[in-house]
Structure 1
């Protein structure tokens, strides 16, 4: 089987933790924005993006959650 490029680098626990916390913070920022916008403390995502463009923050949030899932995933030791 062909080795995945940079596989050894991403098996490093430090790198995975950085990726995981970065992804979690990206998702957390949009989560807080949604709650604070709903409570009218800041402009809501609907005010900023509109209904049609709500897929932008949704996509960024899903990307952050996927980064967190990959970063916090425990690899099986070979």
Structure 2
């Protein structure tokens, strides 16, 4: 019963759009940080996290892209 309710909740277009736009905004923040850090308006990710720490913003960027892919995916409505 709970699985059916959860499945219908995530198939809701409004919920999927919220998840998709949240994912894009997460990705956009790190993308803009990368661009602005490259042209030295703000400290770059390399300065903040170091070489080994670049996994942290990369993981958040991939998470945002996955959320956007799931959020904007069009389910087949049978």
Gaps of 5+ in 1: none
Deviation, structure 1 residue 48: 0.2
Name the counterpart of 1:52: 52
TM-score, normalization by structure 2: 0.93
Q: Which has the higher helix share?
A: 2
1:11 aligned partner: 11
Query: What is the CA deviation profile of residues 18-49 of structure 1, one whole-angstrom value per residue up to 9, with x for unaligned ones?
Result: 00000000000000000000000000000000
The TM-score normalised by the length of structure 1 is 0.93
Q: Does 1:26 align with 2:34?
A: no
| Structure 2: gaps (5+ residues) | none
How many residues in Structure 1 have an aligned counterpart in Structure 2?
Answer: 76
